[in-house]
Structure 1
Amino acid sequence: MVTVGIDPHKHVHVAVAVGSDGRRIGKPLTVKNDALLITVLLGWIRTITDGPAVTWAIEDGRGFARRLADGLLLAGHEVVWIPTRLVAAHRKLHAATGAKSDTVDAAAAAHAAIATPELARHRIDEHVRELRVLVDYRTDLIKRRTMLINQLKAQLHVWLDHTPGDLARPKHLDSLTFLLNTAQLGAHVRRVLLEMTSEISGINQRVRDLDITIKEIVSPLAPALLEITGISHNSAAVLISEIADITRFTSSAKLARYTGCAPIPVYSSDQERHRLHRGGNRRLNSVLYTAAIVQKRFHPAAQALLARHEPAKGKRGARRILQRHLIDVIYRAMATDQAAWQHEITRHQRIA
């Protein structure tokens, strides 16, 4: 049996194959984290072994390697997540003193998987996978619609006081269609602009259909999450699709770091100071920003929190404090929803 250890990074992944005796097999592989990632990895492992029993041990960096793990699992392979501390322990055992590199870390992940067979296997929850596809498709449609609206605005030199979202409303789209039909335009120009308007109308309908589907899926999965002011069905879908298993974060503080809502300490000359964290998952950060804005308008407790911190932190600083507080609330809600969800799945399996 062959175990492949992978050290994941944002732009490249490093893979090392290790046999059941703990010795490396073949040469390490550095592969780009792009659309051909799975194809390249599977082609590489076939040059090393023809056996079907291959376990892929990935150092636990699910923000970078989730797509990789999903692809390998869908290709019929077993995938294991290796905790970072376990990788560090096996690196000390198997590497030369002080040695550390991507190849060494990948080999350590493979050794950890061999030595610890009871580690949790990666799995894909079908509901999470559905939401991930729907959310990504909806995001792509919104981008396409915004591009078309901006092109129309540039060609017509109208609607300059309106946002691209205005043409998502049928009333404004009908007004623009009437304008195109009555304005002094060349035949070819009118035809092209009307086709663009028709395409925008079609995208609007597809987005509405997706919103209905997402609402139907999310409603039974996240009742506690949807009770939070500022969390819509689409926001809940983004949270579920990006986070998936909330238990992979052992505390809300780690989730805050993952979403970019945890301030970074920058101490200097015995002065304690924190600055904004511009990293993290920006899609999740955007959801939290929107929720904070909504709560600022409609939630009394949030308004009181902002009023308490604004004199010292300013409006932006107070809003970031509210976002960090929202992480705690969302973490508890998602943990409650997931526990109920998994209990229901277990009950149905027992009945079956």
Structure 2
Amino acid sequence: MVTVGIDPHKNVHVAVAVDAEGRRVSRPLTVKNDATQISALLKWIRSIAGGTPVTWAIEDGRGFARRLADGLLLAGHEVVWVPTRLMAAHRKLHAATGSKSDPVDAAAVAHAAIATPGLDRHRIDERVRELRVLVDLRADLVKRRTVVINQVKAYTHLWLDHTPGDLTRAPGLTALTTLLDTSETGRHVRRVLSEMLSEIASLNQRIRALEATIRELVSPLAPALLEITGISHVSAAVLLAEIGDITRFTDSAKLARYTGCAPIPVYSSDKERHRLHRGGNRRLNSVLYTAAIVQQRFHPGARDLLARHEPTKGARGARRILKRHLIDVIHRAMLRDRASWQHHVTEHRLAA
């Protein structure tokens, strides 16, 4: 049996293969974190393992390695997650003193997987996987629409001395089209701007269609989550897509750290204070920021919390406290939703 330890990063992943005794059986492999990573890893491991069973052990960084784990699992391989602390313990045990590198970490991941048979197996929930695709596509379309809208605003201000309003809605597009038709701009400029307005209208339509599909999929999956003020269907879909199985966060504090909402303690001159955590999953952090802003406007309890902390923490500090409180609420809601999924699965099995 061959165990492959992987040290995942944002741009590249480093893989090391070891045998059942923990001995390396090849040189480390570095692959780019892109669409070619799965084929490169499978080609590499076939040349090493032949027909021997392979277990892929990945250091638990599911933000960077989720796509990798999904691809390996869909290719028919077993994938396990190795906690970072467990990897660090085996690195101290097996590596030379003071030795630390990506291959050393990857080998420590493999050794930890061999020594700990009960590690968490990677699983794919098809409903969540569908949401990931839809949410990612919507984000790409929104980015493209923003680029085109900014270009149109720049060109219209240059040629028409006019800055258009909201072009994500039909009235704004109609008003600008009418202005363009009655202006004295050259026909080439008019043609270019007309094509860009048509592209914006098409993107608006595609985004609305995606949002309708997301609403249809996420409503039965996250009823408790959607009851939270400030959590829209798109926000709930992002939470489900990025977090996946909420049970992997045993408490809300770990989820807060993952989302970048946990304040980091700083000690200076025997004084303890906390600073902003600039790490974590920024996509989830953005969802929480939006929810906090909406709650600040519409939720009486949130306004009371902000009013209580603003005198000492300031407006931004109070909002961070609200975001950290929202993590507790979201964690409980997602656990309730997850339990309802399992209940429905059990009922379906009994009915079958």
Q: Could you tell me the TM-score, scaled by structure 1's length?
A: 0.94
Cα separation, 2, equivalents of 1:43 and 1:152: 47
The offset of 1:55, in angstroms, is 1.2
Matched, 1:243 2:243: yes
Overall identity of the aligned pairs, in %? 76
Matched, 1:306 2:306: yes
The offset of 1:323, in angstroms, is 0.6
Moved more, 10-19 or 203-212: 10-19
Q: Deviations over 1:59-107 (max 9, x none)?
A: 2121221121112112222111122333234334433455443323222
**Helix, strand or coil for the counterpart of 2:262?**
coil
Aligned to 1:207: 207
Aligned to 1:348: 348
Cα separation, 1, equivalents of 2:222 and 2:106: 37
| AA matched with 2:248 | R
Matched, 1:297 2:297: yes
Cα separation, 1, equivalents of 2:28 and 2:312: 53
Q: Deviations over 1:189-224 (max 9, x none)?
A: 212211111111111111111111101111111111
Matched, 1:180 2:159: no
**Helix, strand or coil for the counterpart of 1:6?**
strand
- Inter-CA distance 19–283: structure 2 relative to 1 (3 Å threshold): same
The offset of 1:118, in angstroms, is 3.1
| AA matched with 1:18 | V
**Helix, strand or coil for the counterpart of 1:283?**
helix
Aligned to 2:105: 105
| AA matched with 2:298 | F
Cα separation, 2, equivalents of 1:192 and 1:132: 34
Aligned to 2:24: 24
5+ unaligned residues in a row in structure 2: which ranges? none
Q: Deviations over 1:139-191 (max 9, x none)?
A: 111111111111111111055374xxx11111111111111221112222212
Matched, 1:72 2:75: no
Q: Indicate conservation of the 8 Å contact 2:2/2:52, yes or no.
A: no
- Inter-CA distance 135–186: structure 2 relative to 1 (3 Å threshold): same
Alignment of 1:162-311 (within 5 A): 162=165, 166-311=166-311
The offset of 1:267, in angstroms, is 1.4
The offset of 1:27, in angstroms, is 0.8
Moved more, 97-106 or 244-253: 97-106
**Helix, strand or coil for the counterpart of 1:337?**
helix
Cα separation, 2, equivalents of 1:147 and 1:179: 21
| AA matched with 1:201 | A
- Inter-CA distance 350–19: structure 2 relative to 1 (3 Å threshold): farther
Q: Could you tell me the TM-score, scaled by structure 2's length?
A: 0.94
Alignment of 1:38-77 (within 5 A): 38-51=38-51, 53-77=53-77
Cα separation, 1, equivalents of 2:317 and 2:164: 30
Matched, 1:160 2:163: yes
Cα separation, 2, equivalents of 1:281 and 1:108: 25
Cα separation, 2, equivalents of 1:188 and 1:123: 54
The offset of 1:52, in angstroms, is 6.1
**Helix, strand or coil for the counterpart of 2:123?**
coil
| AA matched with 1:106 | A
| AA matched with 2:117 | P
Cα separation, 2, equivalents of 1:159 and 1:252: 49
Q: Indicate conservation of the 8 Å contact 2:156/2:163, yes or no.
A: no
| AA matched with 1:74 | L
- Inter-CA distance 170–124: structure 2 relative to 1 (3 Å threshold): same
The offset of 1:51, in angstroms, is 1.6
Q: Indicate conservation of the 8 Å contact 2:306/2:319, yes or no.
A: yes
What count of residue pairs does the alignment treat as equivalent? 349
Moved more, 255-264 or 70-79: 70-79
| AA matched with 1:194 | S
Cα separation, 1, equivalents of 2:177 and 2:254: 50
**Helix, strand or coil for the counterpart of 1:220?**
coil
Cα separation, 2, equivalents of 1:159 and 1:186: 16
**Helix, strand or coil for the counterpart of 2:6?**
strand
Moved more, 16-25 or 281-290: 16-25
The offset of 1:13, in angstroms, is 1.9
Moved more, 206-215 or 28-37: 28-37
| AA matched with 1:225 | L
Moved more, 22-31 or 301-310: 22-31
Cα separation, 2, equivalents of 1:8 and 1:297: 40
**Helix, strand or coil for the counterpart of 1:167?**
coil
The offset of 1:16, in angstroms, is 0.8
Cα separation, 1, equivalents of 2:185 and 2:171: 22
Q: Deviations over 1:324-351 (max 9, x none)?
A: 1101100110111111112212321333
Aligned to 2:13: 13
